Amino acid sequence: MARPKRPIVRAATTTGKPTAASKSDALVTAKSSLPENTDRPVSSEPVAPSASPRCPSPRLTTLLSIAIAAHFTLIGISYLSTVAASSVQADLLATFGPYLGAAHLDAEQIPLTLSSDSASEKTHQLLQTRSLRPGDEDWTSIASPGIRGGDRQRRWQRLLAATAELGENEEGILAAWLMLPIAQRYPDATQIRIDREPDITTMPTDTAAASPYRASIVRDNGSVRLVQVPPSRLTAPSTEPAHD
Amino acid sequence: MTDSTLAAAQSTAVSAWDRFWFYSEHGATSLQVVRIGLSLIAAWYFLSHWADIGLWFAGDGILATEQLGRLIEAEDLVDQYKWRLSPLYWVESTVLLRIYLAIGVLLAIAACVLHTTRAAAVLLWLWCVWLANRSLVISGPEELALVFGLAYIAIASPENPFHWATALARRLIQVHTTLLVVITGLTMLASMIWWDGSGSLSLAAPVGRRMLDVTGMLESLWLQDLVTHLLVLTAILAPIAIWVKRTRRAAQAVLLVWLLLVA
């Protein structure tokens, strides 16, 4: 901020009352203390809002200013809470939930970071098989809608990522609710599973890992159920001696 | 400081604030371009839902209202999502859903063309908000940006480029976009990959989700590290540099390249 050209104390006389000269000084002081703003108009005299047709009334200006400050404070808190929300952030966002939620302004559950190398960012693939023989499945891929990288495919990937995460967290029932409408569209399918496609950053151990979600499709008198197939786990050999 | 000088200083501060938010310097041209651009993106947003809207939101869809409700309740997310209001939760017919999308496209065209009323812009914003609110699980940051952009455009005066509402709309778009990009950069720092140089490869690696496969260009470790650090620095510094006249053009160009790379 530029320093005032004259000492501010000269704005008042010895009697404490401003004179015409001191008012002029105050105006010069006010003009010179304005920050160098690239968007400033040629004339930098402070104009009372009500005198300018380009500005709202003083009362409306005050109300709008308060609204703007509150609005961006909430937006900032919402965006910053996408990493990890503190209890203060969570309480504030919950209090203003009707505003943020209804206007779709909150970033809840939306990762703003470009990438965090999490499993949910991998390319997911949905596969189905018609085989009934365990170990002899002939898995075929269910094509994702749209073009690669397009909006349709992006939504499909988000669904598969969410389902895979539920499967990994052993929330098979919730994953089944998401997959059931798809299973109903493939009346011959006996199992479905979601795989994560290996890419250049995938570790060999991740490649060998079991599918995050796999389920058998049980059809009974027109109703369809999905039963999650638990992943095979590595177990240590039994320590009990073999009985003859 | 005496009372009169304090009053003068306060008056100056208020004037600078008012000038920033309510003074319309530029003509309507700049906001018209933004208005048309956002309206076209909104039209595309509705059209992109056309083929799959039944698959997602119909009565037997993946995200049918009853199904979604059970999922949200089971995951204890009711408090989080109870304000995502949308009339589409009461619509289960694919035909009606497609009529909704068609109206959205018409509103987008009207918002481009009509210059005498805010009604089209306000309705377009609402139409997008309701579809975005309905798209739980499958929505992302693109809906976030589209919705706030349309909201601010709806504030602007469609017929008077010098109206204070137009100036306010322009500033809201600028400040919100700055906030979004800067915070995106800051959240990137929460992950080690944006410190150790592997962030660029991590971003490019899921080629099945990208229109272009650029992993071949990142074979050099040195280039990987450079691109990683540039992505973070650009996100944090470029939106701030745009506000400084001397660095504005360069920052705009750099930010445009950044947006194209990450999109």
pLDDT at B14: 56
Amino acid identity for residue A197 in this structure: E
Q: How many residues does chain B have?
A: 263
pLDDT classification of A230: cutoffs 50, 70, 90: confident
Question: Which comes out higher in pLDDT, residue A201 or B124?
Answer: B124
pLDDT at B259: 87
CB-based contact (8 Å) between B176 and chain A?
Answer: yes
The average pLDDT across B255-261 equals 87
Does A201 contact B205 at a Cβ distance shorter than 8 Å? Answer: yes
CA–CA separation, B181 vs A76, rounded Å?
A: 11
For residue B151, the chain A residue with the least C-alpha distance is: A103
Does A104 contact B262 at a Cβ distance shorter than 8 Å? Answer: no
pLDDT classification of B151: cutoffs 50, 70, 90: very high
Q: pLDDT tens digits, residue range B194-247?
A: 999 999 999 998 988 888 888 888 889 999 999 999 999 999 999 999 999 899
CA distance A110 to chain B (A): 6
Least confident of A121-135, A204-218, B33-47, B165-179: A204-218
CB A34 within 8 A of CB A44: yes
CA–CA separation, B186 vs A244, rounded Å?
A: 66
Strand partners, A216: A191, A227
Summary mean pLDDT of chain B: 89
Q: pLDDT tens digits, residue range B5-29?
A: 666 666 665 588 888 999 876 544 5
pLDDT at B234: 94
pLDDT classification of A91: cutoffs 50, 70, 90: very high
Strand order in the sheet with A213-220: A140-142, A124-129, A191-196, A213-220, A223-228
Strand partners, B19: none
pLDDT classification of B116: cutoffs 50, 70, 90: confident
The average pLDDT across B128-132 equals 97
Kindly list the residues from chain A whose CB atom is less than 8 angstroms away from the CB atom of residue B142. 151
Radius of gyration of chain A (CA): 32
pTM above 0.90, yes or no: no
pLDDT at B180: 94
Rounded to 5°, the CA angle A170-A173-A176 comes to: 110
pLDDT at B30: 65
Tokens 């059970």, located at residue: B70
pLDDT classification of B99: cutoffs 50, 70, 90: very high
| Residues contacting residue A126 through CB under 8 Å, at least 6 positions apart | A141, A142, A144, A160, A182, A192, A193, A194
CB-based contact (8 Å) between A50 and chain B?
Answer: no
Angle between helices B94-113 and B119-134 (to 10 degrees): 140
Structure tokens at A52: 């300018």
The average pLDDT across B182-190 equals 94
CA–CA separation, B36 vs B125, rounded Å?
A: 13
pLDDT at A32: 41
CA distance B114 to chain A (A): 23
pLDDT at A54: 64
pLDDT at A61: 92
pLDDT at B7: 63
Kindly list the residues from chain B whose CB atom is less than 8 angstroms away from the CB atom of residue A142. none
Least confident of A151-155, A196-200, B99-103, B222-226: A196-200
Radius of gyration of chain B (CA): 22
Amino acid identity for residue A17 in this structure: K
CA distance A194 to chain B (A): 14
Least confident of A124-128, A155-159, B79-83: B79-83
Angle between helices B29-48 and B119-134 (to 10 degrees): 40
Structure tokens at A199: 């890419």
| Residues contacting residue A17 through CB under 8 Å, at least 6 positions apart | none
Tokens 């943020």, located at residue: A100
Question: Which comes out higher in pLDDT, residue B263 or A149?
Answer: A149
pLDDT at A236: 56
Question: Which comes out higher in pLDDT, residue A7 or B45?
Answer: B45
Amino acid identity for residue A235 in this structure: T
Best-predicted range by mean pLDDT (A54-58, B83-87, B113-117): B83-87
CB A160 within 8 A of CB A126: yes
Kindly list the residues from chain A whose CB atom is less than 8 angstroms away from the CB atom of residue B23. 39, 41, 54-55
CA–CA separation, B235 vs B218, rounded Å?
A: 20
Instruction: Evaluate if residue A12 carries a pLDDT over 80.
Output: no
> Nearest CA to B23 among A33, A36, A42?
A42
Q: pLDDT tens digits, residue range A174-228?
A: 999 999 999 999 999 999 999 998 888 887 776 667 789 999 999 988 889 999 9
CA distances (Å), B236 to each of B181, B196, B254, in order? 7, 17, 12
The average pLDDT across B159-167 equals 85
Instruction: Evaluate if residue A137 carries a pLDDT over 60.
Output: yes
Instruction: Evaluate if residue A8 carries a pLDDT over 70.
Output: no
CB-based contact (8 Å) between B201 and chain A?
Answer: yes
Percentage of chain B exceeding pLDDT 70: 92
pLDDT at A238: 57
Sign of CA dihedral A63, A66, A69, A74: negative
CA–CA separation, B131 vs B44, rounded Å?
A: 13
Mutate to test the interface with A, among B11, B14, B19 (most CBs of A within 10 A): B19
Listed by number, the residues of chain B in 53-92 with a beta carbon closer than 8 Å to a beta carbon of chain A are 55-56, 60-62, 64, 67, 70-71, 74-75, 79-85
Least confident of A145-154, A196-205, B109-118, B152-161: A196-205
CB A212 within 8 A of CB A167: yes
Structure tokens at A124: 């997911």
Amino acid identity for residue A41 in this structure: P
CB-based contact (8 Å) between A90 and chain B?
Answer: no
pLDDT at B215: 86
Q: Which among A41, A56, A116 has the least Cβ separation from residue B25?
A: A41
pLDDT at B23: 85
> Nearest CA to B115 among B45, B36, B21, B170?
B36
Structure tokens at A6: 């004259």
Instruction: Evaluate if residue B105 carries a pLDDT over 70.
Output: yes
Least confident of A93-102, A156-165, A231-240, B178-187: A231-240
Q: Long-range pairs for B119-127 at CB < 8 Å and ≥24 separation?
A: B121/B35, B121/B150, B121/B153, B121/B154, B121/B156, B121/B158, B122/B154, B124/B39, B124/B42, B124/B150, B124/B154, B125/B150, B125/B151, B125/B153, B125/B154, B127/B42, B127/B46, B127/B100, B127/B103
CA–CA separation, B118 vs B114, rounded Å?
A: 8
Structure tokens at A70: 């509150």
CA–CA separation, B192 vs A162, rounded Å?
A: 23
Instruction: Evaluate if residue A63 carries a pLDDT over 90.
Output: yes
Instruction: Evaluate if residue A35 carries a pLDDT over 60.
Output: no
pLDDT at A206: 67
Does A158 contact B137 at a Cβ distance shorter than 8 Å? Answer: yes
CB-based contact (8 Å) between A122 and chain B?
Answer: yes
Question: Which comes out higher in pLDDT, residue A159 or A171?
Answer: A159
CA–CA separation, A143 vs A151, rounded Å?
A: 15
Kindly list the residues from chain B whose CB atom is less than 8 angstroms away from the CB atom of residue A22. 4
